[in-house]
Structure 1
Amino acid sequence: MNQELTLYHAHWSLCSQMVRVALYEKGLQFKSERIKLCDHSDEAGNLADDFLKNINPTAVVPVLKLNDEIVRDSAYIIERIDDLEGDNEINLWPQDPLKRRELKKWVEDTTITEGVGMGKSLGTMVPLFSTGLIEDLIKNLKFSSILRIIFKHPRRDRKIAFLMMYFFSLKQKIGPIVYNRFTRELIALEENLKDKNFLLGEFSHADINLMCCFNRLTEMKMENLLEMKELPNVANYWQNLKARTSYQKGILDYPDHEEMLKKIFNSGPNPHLEVIQNKIIEKLSS
């Protein structure tokens, strides 16, 4: 059966990265429609009338158009992708029911899940560490772009967050609220990865999610967390993820905000890094 895939995505969006990696893992060809998000650019492609009417009325990416069907929500998109036949023989979801249930829990914990508050899971903690970049991007927007967000963005939660970043500052306050929970999650991941190359043994959907989360930590100058001698399984796991072709094709080949990232971290490492490292060491030695 012929399948025509069009992906509406943003380069730096975590969930967009996850779907792109899945497409490359499966070896699927797709048409790329880049959407510049309203909190990143004055272009605000996700608030365009055509996008809101025909692609996603919630103004969120990614969205996959599969022939004439619109598929939304990154986790569900990847499930649908896994059902398609590509050039690569790989299953991102196992056939065994017990393994599927286990994977479902990991997927929910490692992505930005609708209805899960920010900072309540591993996947919703990682974006908090990039608040500084998002805030700087928002503060650089024209005031007319802020008005567009006020009047056109359909999601009240995101609208409020963007306005708070524009008129005030959250970047020094957001990261610290998840230090302890994030420390526990990394230690739990270390334990789960014992004697494994990937979360369930074989590469899966959840590994895609963590590939993208770990890459975001790297961009935030926090990669040393993934290379600590106290977390050898995590360190080995990160090397395995980076070695996959999909890491280059789905993430590194879609750069964005390089100059802004250099500007933010020009003075040194991420201030969150040392605090979390010390918490990990303290937790493991107690």
Structure 2
Amino acid sequence: MSTLVFGSSGQVASELRLSAPDAMFLGRDSADLADPAGCAAAITAHRPDLVINAAAYTAVDRAEEEEALAHIINADAPGAMARAAAELGVPFVQISTDYVFGGTGTRPWAPSDATAPQNAYGRTKLAGEEAVRAAGGVHAILRTSWVVSAHGANFVKTMLRLGAERDALTIVADQVGGPTPARDIATACLRIGDALRQDPALSGTFHFSGAPDVSWADFARAIFDKAGLSCAVTDIPTADYPTPAARPLNSRLDCTRTETVFGLSRPDWRDGLDDILKALKEAQDA
């Protein structure tokens, strides 16, 4: 099976490189998502058996001022990709986000729940979902949350840096979700893509996030504990840490459908965190 991946250096794309080294990866230099037509042309030219979009505009706060650009990258480009994949009759896997939901309550969000994004990033990702569905091809939209890895910028690496520099931190404690190792997302994308090739009727929207659900503050405590850092964490509400883009308080995702359809259970982020810390140490010692 030939797999074409949009993205080359992001968290999920980096893990896909390890999981599927024979896949073709298109970075911004060869497929800029700000050029949707060019992305579609790349699919037509390469004629893969599976397309995975692991690239996106992910600067959540900056998107408040650059929503037009974020919309091109997160909505127009995936739509163009999905149409090109549909024309070839090959599955298209699009990674989306819990930010398409309103973030209220405490019940985990199901794929069928009404969406109500609270920020520009969420609006553009929701528009991308709608464009992929409208393309009419074989597809899977995989919503995930709180992505972490040994690659790029993410909460784990930020906490390791700050925890080594400071004796204490104040961390938001009223936002709850499932940290999700990028390695597990990469595995899920490949498994889902293969399943779609065998049974196109499995197309749809699915959730995939790490377990157990946790607050940012408790996640930080776990990072410090596993890394052996003595940094005290004080809980604060989101209201005490204002950001340009509103963040959802409830990022819990109901992943039952994903496990039922594809046999993919929620990964334990604590195991993933161990792997991330090990990879970072090996890179530091190399």
TM-score, normalised by the number of residues in structure 2: 0.30
Structure number with the higher strand fraction is: 2
